[in-house]
Structure 1
């Protein structure tokens, strides 16, 4: 009897712990996703307010009426910061999604297209990773005329190599599985194997890679905009706000840069935490721990 009762105990405890870990990860994902959605929604709702000037409130320090203060034109900095964050998040969303598509396509070509295709993709990955990231992003954005399109395309074309390398290694492991060998033996084409068998198995890695690419995309968008190679000055954006506020820091108007910068950091950390939770949710270790 003792041996029989010990069996169910050792079997069910890890399952309960795993379920608790997954529930906590899912709850964290929901909370962070809702918070980020609220930031984007508030930014879009305050888009017109962010451009309204009131010279009677110029250079106003943070107060209950204006928590982030006002700039040299009397524009509310909280509204401008939220509008800028919404722009950065939307640009990062498009760029990260496109980058993930490129990474997935190249990983499938490298793993299922033969030795020549694998060598070509590996050479392309090494080439892109060998160029300084920010310089390549600046060149692409400048060549495409800057603006939203130039920044989104530039970020998308520079953030795929790391994910492509991870996905390629994953496909290499999947290629040795018996069920994939059986699909090849049955005469299935490479396209059918990639679309119907390999791609569904890559969804967790692809989802995690897309979410993890968000903070990098947002930071790089803000960086090149700050340097003057990104979004136009008339568009509310965090990079534009930080770039314009630099000349006023020496006058003591610290809130023009510190508070928007802190908000950008909070959003980036939120996306980083979201990526960690998504990785934990899709990891098999979460069930076992």
Structure 2
């Protein structure tokens, strides 16, 4: 008995170390801080781009083709436009397009996933067939076709990206709804006489919100890259707009002349924003995952 009491006394001082991190700094709080900083940075770029939109169009041929300097950190282009201002404005436009298209794609995915899982085998088969059809066509080709059919420009890009990015999230929503249908409270609601639409809206959609929110954030980087891609190919935003795709497309003509700054800085900042969006979505998914709640 004495040895047992001595052993408990030796073990008991270590107990606060197990419960201590819950009241102090832990990995979960670190992820929250980094995600907040990422969101704040992206919001600052968006607001700054809107404020500098008119300045990005100002031309001055007396300062054309200047390399990076203190006055012009990203240099100037062949029309004397400030490349730093144009880059920030282009990133702001890309972020806004990414937000809009990701929201529309998430809404389409939610509706399709709910219909596939709740409206019977026939509707399920139609939606699964539509998903396979969209996934079976090369992505960039489908984007170009839709954007061209819509007359290109802003709305052509938005419609094209929105109609091609919902498939993966729709499959995830469908799988989640099928699991929810087997739960006890959904069966009770069915026995109480509630309709399929009422059950979907009142009992299923609240459980799908975390998946929808994470999916929306993770679609941002794909939407931004595809907007820049089809604009670069000439099937997206108009050349008059200071978009990243337009900037990169124009810079290709001058790289052989040694004007490397025209493509380097916009390309690096585009990659940075895409990685930041991806990190934010991945962090948000881990925060909402119950398996990481103890960290």
User: How far apart in 1 are the matches of 2:289 and 2:195?
Assistant: 30
Range with bigger deviation, 137-146 or 110-119: 110-119
The residue that corresponds to 2:285 in the other structure is: 279
The residue that corresponds to 2:94 in the other structure is: 88
Deviation at 1:19, TM superposition (A): 8.2
Q: Deviations over 1:191-224 (max 9, x none)?
A: 1110011000000100000000000000000000
The residue that corresponds to 1:144 in the other structure is: 150
The residue that corresponds to 1:111 in the other structure is: 117
**CA RMSD in angstroms, aligned pairs only:** 2.1
Aligned counterparts, 1:146-185, within 5 A:
146-185=152-191
The residue that corresponds to 1:210 in the other structure is: 216
Deviation at 1:23, TM superposition (A): 1.9
Q: Which of 44, 56, 60 pairs up with 1:54? A: 60
- Give the total of aligned pairs: 287
From the superposition, tell whether residues 238 and 26 of structure 1 become closer, same or farther in structure 2 (CA, over 3 Å).
same
User: How far apart in 2 are the matches of 1:9 and 1:101?
Assistant: 48
Q: Which of 27, 51, 56 pairs up with 1:21? A: 27
The residue that corresponds to 1:220 in the other structure is: 226
Q: Which has the higher contact order (CA 8 A, sep 6+)?
A: 1
User: Is 1:236 aligned to 2:242, yes or no?
Assistant: yes
Where structure 1 has 5 or more consecutive residues not aligned to the other structure, the ranges are none
Deviation at 1:154, TM superposition (A): 0.4
Deviation at 1:261, TM superposition (A): 0.3
Deviation at 1:9, TM superposition (A): 4.6
Where structure 2 has 5 or more consecutive residues not aligned to the other structure, the ranges are none
User: How far apart in 2 are the matches of 1:165 and 1:10?
Assistant: 44
- With normalisation by structure 2, the TM-score equals 0.93
| Aligned partner of residue 24 in structure 1, secondary structure | helix
